[in-house]
């Protein structure tokens, strides 16, 4: 029996580009980079003080007694999930809640709460931390909060694989649906890394750009951290059609691999295997893919390696692909990046519009694909893939295509 087809019926998002998925997509289409000085006053000793920050949260209606149990990254996930559920027109109640679950990926978890506890004990001399410190900082907290706020009692868990966390969460959710453990799964990621300890850690790696993020461009100086969340509502095609749900696109396939090499330096073979596995599972020929949302962090070595990996997978067709890195606009949101980039892929398929790589200056001869510099481009996009290649050599790629 063939595996059931999985479709996307809702999208929610929040990041520096906007506080909902529609606003994020509009900003991407405009090529607007939302990177600038971080307003967090606790970063006074950090050398790199730019990031992709959410300047103000939308009204979310979460009651105070729930809010005090959440770290910022969990709150972002709950906000994105609310939007995604609303678009999907899914009502969760006593009759179906046990068939609706959530998987939320996270890269660095609840660092706002971790730093509050350090400040209380080490700087302020308090004898204890906040009572909710542990439930706030757990890597699975975002998934749990999404389930509690929205009443989901099906399979609920968190995953963490650094920058590939969102794509791994999507893959895990697809598995739950195909195994028949749920009818609907919310899947995506959330992260809020713009705090002192995390910034200092990334600063020590010497990969943070001092000005902005310029993926694939000559003279690029590194990545820029951002915060955000993205959630997709996934369900089987039969279930979506039976309830008359709006179908945005098909989640055609996923591919995963591990480099098994170095904790920070990626290999060529791992990303190649993940992309090839994704195309195979999706039943897509290389020539059917029009757009690749690249991992595209803006570091010199990684952008060159990803360019070579795309050439290896797509062959001669790589020259006709549209490639872009939306991290040039929303920064690297770590565990949330893949879910925010899924918004780009789904809308590229729906609207036939490829978002650009912003801040592009001069070409790098080693990054010689069409990276859609600075301006969005109209073209038919029947299928797109989104790359997630993480520290630890954990790779996850997802494919979306128009629903036929």
Question: Residue 92 region, left (φ>0) first, then alpha (ψ -120 to 50), else beta?
Answer: beta
HSE-up of residue 290 (Cα within 13 Å, Cβ side): 19
Q: Would you state the structure tokens that stand for residue 66, as one six-digit string? A: 């729930």
**DSSP classification of residue 123:** I
Our answer to whether residue 317 is catalytic in this structure is no
First-to-last C-alpha distance (Å) of the chain: 20
Q: Would you state the structure tokens that stand for residue 356, as one six-digit string? A: 């650009």
The rounded distance, in Å, linking the Cα atoms of 234 and 100 is 10
At residue 97, what are phi and psi to the nearest 5 degrees?
Answer: -55, -35
Residue pair 275/387 in contact (Cβ under 8 Å)? The answer is yes
Our answer to whether residue 295 is catalytic in this structure is yes
Our answer to whether residue 60 is catalytic in this structure is no
The continuous run of DSSP H or E covering 136 comes out as: helix 133-137
Instruction: From the candidates 332, 333, 345, 367, give the one annotated as an active-site residue.
Output: 332
Residue 80's nearest CA partner among 16, 148, 14 is 14
**DSSP classification of residue 179:** T
| Beta pairing class for 383-390 and 362-363 | unpaired
The rounded distance, in Å, linking the Cα atoms of 272 and 329 is 25
Q: 3-state class of 399 per DSSP?
A: strand
Q: Would you call 312 exposed, middle or buried from its count of C-beta atoms within 10 A (0-12, 13-18, 19+)?
A: middle
Q: Would you state the structure tokens that stand for residue 274, as one six-digit string? A: 């993940």
Instruction: From the candidates 15, 29, 109, 163, give the one annotated as an active-site residue.
Output: 163
Instruction: From the candidates 112, 168, 239, 295, give the one annotated as an active-site residue.
Output: 295
- The catalytic residue positions are 163, 295, 332
């Amino acid at each position: 029996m063939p595996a059931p087809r999985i479709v996307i019926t809702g999208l929610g998002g929040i990041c520096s580009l906007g506080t909902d998925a529609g606003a994020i997509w509009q900003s991407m289409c405009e090529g607007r980079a939302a990177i600038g000085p971080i307003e967090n006053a606790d970063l006074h000793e950090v050398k790199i003080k730019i990031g992709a920050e959410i300047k103000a949260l939308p009204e979310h209606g979460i009651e105070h007694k729930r809010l005090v149990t959440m770290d910022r990254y969990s709150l972002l996930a709950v906000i994105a999930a609310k939007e995604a559920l609303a678009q999907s027109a899914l009502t969760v109640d006593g009759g179906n809640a046990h068939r609706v679950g959530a998987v939320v990926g996270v890269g660095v978890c609840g660092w706002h709460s971790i730093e509050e506890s350090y400040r209380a004990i080490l700087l302020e001399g308090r004898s204890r931390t906040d009572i909710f410190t542990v439930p706030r900082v757990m890597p699975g907290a975002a998934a749990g909060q999404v389930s509690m706020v929205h009443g989901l009692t099906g399979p609920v868990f968190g995953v963490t694989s650094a920058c590939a966390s969102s794509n791994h969460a999507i893959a895990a959710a697809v598995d739950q649906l195909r195994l028949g453990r749920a009818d609907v799964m919310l899947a995506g990621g959330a992260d809020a890394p713009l705090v002192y300890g995390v910034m200092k850690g990334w600063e020590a790696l010497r990969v943070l750009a001092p000005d902005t993020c310029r993926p694939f461009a000559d003279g690029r100086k590194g990545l820029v951290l951002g915060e955000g969340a993205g959630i997709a509502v996934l369900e089987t095609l039969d279930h979506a059609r039976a309830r008359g749900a709006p179908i945005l696109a098909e989640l055609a396939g996923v591919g995963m691999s591990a480099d098994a090499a170095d904790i920070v330096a990626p290999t060529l073979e791992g990303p190649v295997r993940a992309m090839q596995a994704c195309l195979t599972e999706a039943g897509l020929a290389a020539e059917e893919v029009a757009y690749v949302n690249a991992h595209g962090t803006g570091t010199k070595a990684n952008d060159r390696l990803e360019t070579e990996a795309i050439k290896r997978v797509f062959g001669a067709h790589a020259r006709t692909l549209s490639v872009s890195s939306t991290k040039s606009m929303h920064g690297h949101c770590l565990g949330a990046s893949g879910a925010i980039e899924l918004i780009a892929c789904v809308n590229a398929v729906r609207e036939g519009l490829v978002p650009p790589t912003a801040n592009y200056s001069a070409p790098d001869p080693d990054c010689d694909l069409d990276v859609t510099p600075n301006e969005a481009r109209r073209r038919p996009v029947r299928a797109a893939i989104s790359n997630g290649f993480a520290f630890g050599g954990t790779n996850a790629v997802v494919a979306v295509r128009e629903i036929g």
